[in-house]
Amino acid sequence: MQTAKDKLLYILYWTAIFVVSGSMLVYGVAKPIQFQNFSGAANLNLSAGHQLMWTFYSYTKAYPIIIGVFEIIGAIAILFNRTRIFGCIFLTIILSNIIIQDYLYEVFALGTAVFYQLLVLLILLFDFDKLKIIMKVLFKSRPKNRHLILLIIALILSLGIKFFEGKLLSFFL
């Protein structure tokens, strides 16, 4: 039998999921329109950093579309139990980037991005048992690698590739 507390937590959990998913879906769909023909460079209400960032985003249509698609993928992924952790991690990567840019470029929407990130963390807190299992699998210690010679050869090869990287790329391109 569910207690009133369990019901309240269930409502809180799904409210956080719906708020983040719906918002990221709207932002993702609107992203190409948001940065289309940015004329805010002369807007005195925006910081110089905000103007610079928005000018950068509006320079090409492809970049905002790519960011928007990523936001949509994350928004859809958190709706389903099987992909919720993936969606939360995916959205954390996107939102962290937005938070850093908003902070450094003095964009007024910083608080909104922080709010959504806090909701994503709340969702992860609710799914903490699943998250622990995933982390155990990801960071499970493996048997010691006994192929030291092969590792040294791979390291030497990688250093050689890095040393000749420019020449190799110009050869293939």
Q: Please tell me the distance from the alpha carbon of residue 17 to that of residue 20, in angstroms, as a whole number.
A: 5
Q: Of 128, 31, 120, 25, which Cα lies nearest the Cα of 75?
A: 25
58, 33, 39, 98 alpha-carbon torsion, rounded to 10° = -50
Would you state the pLDDT for residue 33?
A: 84
Residue 16 CA: distances (Å) to CA of 21, 37, 46, 146, 159: 8, 33, 30, 47, 47
pLDDT 10s digits, 95-135: 999 999 999 998 888 999 999 999 999 999 999 999 999 99
In degrees, rounded to 5, the angle at the alpha carbon of residue 73 between the alpha carbons of residues 72 and 76 is 85
pLDDT 10s digits, 2-61: 899 999 999 999 999 999 999 999 999 998 887 776 665 556 667 888 788 888 888 888
Would you state the pLDDT for residue 170?
A: 74
Q: Please tell me the distance from the alpha carbon of residue 101 to that of residue 57, in angstroms, as a whole number.
A: 12
Predicted TM-score (pTM) of the model is 0.80
138, 141, 143, 149 alpha-carbon torsion, rounded to 10° = 80
pLDDT 10s digits, 22-32: 999 999 999 88
Domain ranges of the chain: 4-141, 142-173
pLDDT 10s digits, 83-98: 999 999 999 999 999 9
Instruction: List alpha helices for 35-127, DSSP H.
Output: 48-58, 62-77, 84-104, 110-126
